[in-house]
Structure 1
Amino acid sequence: MDLGNILSHLGSFLGTLMFLCAIYQKYFPGHIRSYMEKYSRLGLDLARPYVQVTFYEFTDHMFAKNAAYSTVKCFLTGRSTAQAKRLKAQLKRNQSLVLSIDEREEIPDEFHGVRLWWGSGKRVSKSKVLPFYPPPSADNKSYYKLTFHQRDRDVILGPYLNHVREEAEAIKARNRQRQLYTNNGSSWMGVVFEHRATFQTLAMEPSRKQEIVDDLITFSNAKDFYRRLGRAWKRGYLLHGPPGTGKSTMIAAMANLLGYDLYDLELTAVKDNTELLKLLIQTSKKSILVIEDIDCSLDLTGQRKESKKDRGDGEDKKGRPVKKPSNVVDDDKKAANPSKLTLSGLLNFIDGLWSVCRGERLIVFTTNHVEKLDPALIRRGRMDKHIELSYCRFEEFKVLAKNYLGIERHDLFERIEGLLQEKNMTPADVAEHLMPKTEAMTHEDRLESLIIALTT
């Protein structure tokens, strides 16, 4: 059969089809057409055993943003770059380029051996809008559509969609700018966290650093472990050592390693236990709660107070002088600090019933005098890992020399190694001597400055 005959038959078929459609529209009543369309769709659904779930960008309620659409969009961003053939690009406010799948594009996915497909498109609305209300743009009608076989309904609508949500949350946490918060009354105020400290630049012996890094990563991946144990997904760290040994720098390195926000809690600004719990509830997942210099925060960290009858008020019943215990707070100190926060409230905040209100959290205490802390505050289970940060030794010095001088060996290193074994100097003091004071200072000048400080 030649091309002319094919076109002739095709034209006859199309003409017949158009005639039948016209007859259908003209002579079949509307209610009969609706029944026929309904049952024809049911027949098609039986013949095509696939289920579709649509995630619209906006809900039907005054075009409110649909959180499920944003979650799917975040989830598909990485996959679309690797698998889709048609992509659309957008610039974010920070001028970074974001790629996502274009309309009417489809990408496959697999979950526990189940095959499924994601597609995107736009819904064309025929409804009229009020003249005083701006009509929605084409973008406001965007959607994502998930298609899968009906035999896999339980797997997709349960575990898979939970997987999509958790993966999207992890992606958002990795990509968002981290925040540094401090408390103002019963609320937090924050700024962008821009500290660049990492464990690579931290002045610490390499094996100890690796031990801490492994512990942090194990914790961040231990959601199922904590859930199986029925414990809150949190871990406490106590950093102790002399001033200038890098406690605050280590906290910044922790935040940068895990991508967590930082909440710097100032206990002296908290009025009572209730306000402390309000602050806890407002914190987010994937965060580090920090209380620096816990030994200096209110009267919470020393030995527990004796009862009033045991205090003494200058003399005993026989008139003999009695020395007031050092752990008793004077009335003038109480007046200067009207906080009603108690040690019991702080302990409940750390690992009581309220501590489970947010998951995946580190709680970090720092102190220069660990011996002053109440044993109940730092016992295992509250402060799970105790990390001592001490004076600078040669391993720590080599890290600082690489950071500040960009060198890993020098003729003066051997002499510095011996001096650091004889004299205690904090990493902060060592770093100060390695800092260039003028542009003319050479590496040798700065090392000589350190040697002079260690020998005087």
Structure 2
Amino acid sequence: MPSAKTIVSTAASVAASAMVIRSIARELVPHELKLFVLMNIRGLFESFSSEITLIIDQFDGLASNQIYRAADIYLGNKISPSTKMFRVSMPEKENKMSISMAKNQEIVDHFDGVKLKWKQVTRQVESTQYVSYTGQSTKMQSEIRYFNLTFHKQHKDKVLNSYFPYILRKSKSAQEENKTLKLYSLNQDHARRFGLDSWHWITFNHPATFDTLAMEAELKKMIIEDLERFVKRKDYYRRVGKAWKRGYLLYGPPGTGKSSLIAAMSNYLNFDIYDLELSAVHSNSELRRVLLSTGNRSILVVEDIDCSLELEDRQAQPTTVNVLKPLRTMQNVRVTPADVGEQLLKNEDPEIALKGLLEFLNAKLIEGCESQAS
């Protein structure tokens, strides 16, 4: 049996030989060949691995990646007491904190019996040269963020078809619960012309609710039921080919509660408010751009619409106004296609919807008869 001295001497000789071989390989073997060998070795080991890893980048080109944003919100609610680091933030003007994974942290999640390992990866990258307004040239540091999601390869279909939709639903629910209501106002003309956002916002803290609103009980109940029915029927609107929107016309002198009703609706639905003054919009294309920049699940308020429209000019161009010609059942009875559609959308059951439409038309007929008699 060799002595300890012999073993140590042999090990030292082997280590020295390995270092010599490594030095020779570093000098003589091209970098491309080394990279090729390493990639093939790595690919060989990965081919025997039972796991698969999905990379979820923060951005998809210049646009935000919806899956990344949803995962960031979802995982923020999954942080356990064993997590050593997490990120807490509260943007300016917001009143609720948000929690998310810290840089390069890992979390294990379980879904329908599947174990999923998440890792938040953040890498510093050097951006292009930047010249400040003082003329000094500097290089700005920026970050690339993405998630690595690792799981057994046999669960790929379940992850893509069930787990990701589940994350999207849960993150959307969390966003609604933690949402800070905002009141948006239109930016000035010069700001919009120079490419700034169409809207600026402040936190909306109006105290009005349906509980505090002075309104007839039956009318209040009717409005609440109508709002709930509208929110629940987004898919139904899509099936029948209607835009998912709801309109209310509020009229009356100042102080009668129009603004309070809007605030109560916003607090009840958890919808932001966009306050649009039509006199600040000067063309149809600008109005279209402003409307397209509003967010989903929001309330668009057009105040004093009768004072904002140039009715005399519009009457001079009947083709721009007479879009829906009313159907006349008899003199003094006017029913528009919009009225018919409104009645049919009140219930998903065809028989109940048609019955409601007939009752509506009958009420209009009686109203017209009484108007003629007087």
- Report the TM-score when normalising by structure 2: 0.61
**1:164-186: CA deviation from partner (whole Å, max 9, x where unpaired):** 45655665565344123358779
- Give the direction of change, closer, same or farther, for the CA distance of 1:20–1:164 in structure 2 (3 Å limit): farther
Correspondence for 1:149 among 148, 152, 156: 152
In structure 2, the residue corresponding to 1:381 is in which secondary structure? Answer: helix
Letter in 2 for 1:44: F
Aligned to 1:107: 107
Q: How many residues align?
A: 313
1:134 aligns with 2:139: yes
What percentage of aligned pairs have identical amino acids?
31
How far is the alpha carbon of 1:197 from its aligned partner? Answer: 1.5
Report matched runs for 1:87-98 at 5 Å: 87-90=86-89, 92-94=91-93, 97-98=97-98
Letter in 1 for 2:244: W
How far is the alpha carbon of 1:241 from its aligned partner? Answer: 6.8
- Give the direction of change, closer, same or farther, for the CA distance of 1:34–1:374 in structure 2 (3 Å limit): same
Contact 1:236 1:381 in 2 (8 A): no
Aligned to 2:118: 118
Report matched runs for 1:20-419 at 5 Å: 22=19, 25-26=22-23, 28=25, 29-30=29-30, 32-55=33-56, 67=65, 69-80=68-79, 84-90=83-89, 92-94=91-93, 97-110=97-110, 114-123=114-123, 132-134=137-139, 136=141, 140-157=143-160, 160-161=163-164, 164=167, 168=171, 171-172=174-175, 174-182=178-186, 188-192=198-202, 193-205=204-216, 209-239=220-250, 244-267=255-278, 276-292=287-303, 298=309, 334=313, 342-344=320-322, 375-376=335-336, 379-381=339-341
How far is the alpha carbon of 1:271 from its aligned partner? Answer: 5.5
Distance 1:15 1:65 in 2: 57
**1:403-451: CA deviation from partner (whole Å, max 9, x where unpaired):** xxxxxxxxxxxxxxxxxxxxxxxxxxxxxxxxxxxxxxxxxxxxxxxxx
In structure 2, the residue corresponding to 1:44 is in which secondary structure? Answer: helix
Letter in 2 for 1:178: K
Distance 2:63 2:309 in 1: 45
- Give the direction of change, closer, same or farther, for the CA distance of 1:82–1:296 in structure 2 (3 Å limit): farther
Distance 1:235 1:128 in 2: 46
How far is the alpha carbon of 1:287 from its aligned partner? Answer: 1.7
- What is the RMSD of the two structures over their aligned residues, measured on CA atoms? 5.0
Letter in 1 for 2:299: I
- Give the direction of change, closer, same or farther, for the CA distance of 1:134–1:148 in structure 2 (3 Å limit): same
How far is the alpha carbon of 1:119 from its aligned partner? Answer: 1.6
Higher mean Cα deviation, 213-222 or 270-279?
270-279
How far is the alpha carbon of 1:284 from its aligned partner? Answer: 2.4
Aligned to 1:358: none
How far is the alpha carbon of 1:161 from its aligned partner? Answer: 4.1
Unpaired segments ≥5 residues, structure 2: 131-136, 193-197, 326-331, 347-374
Contact 2:181 2:271 in 1 (8 A): no
Unpaired segments ≥5 residues, structure 1: 301-332, 349-371, 386-456
**1:260-283: CA deviation from partner (whole Å, max 9, x where unpaired):** 232344456665655544443333
- Report the TM-score when normalising by structure 1: 0.52
**1:189-246: CA deviation from partner (whole Å, max 9, x where unpaired):** 4442342222222223556545533442443344433334443222233446776543
How far is the alpha carbon of 1:256 from its aligned partner? Answer: 1.9
Distance 1:71 1:213 in 2: 30
Distance 2:74 2:254 in 1: 44
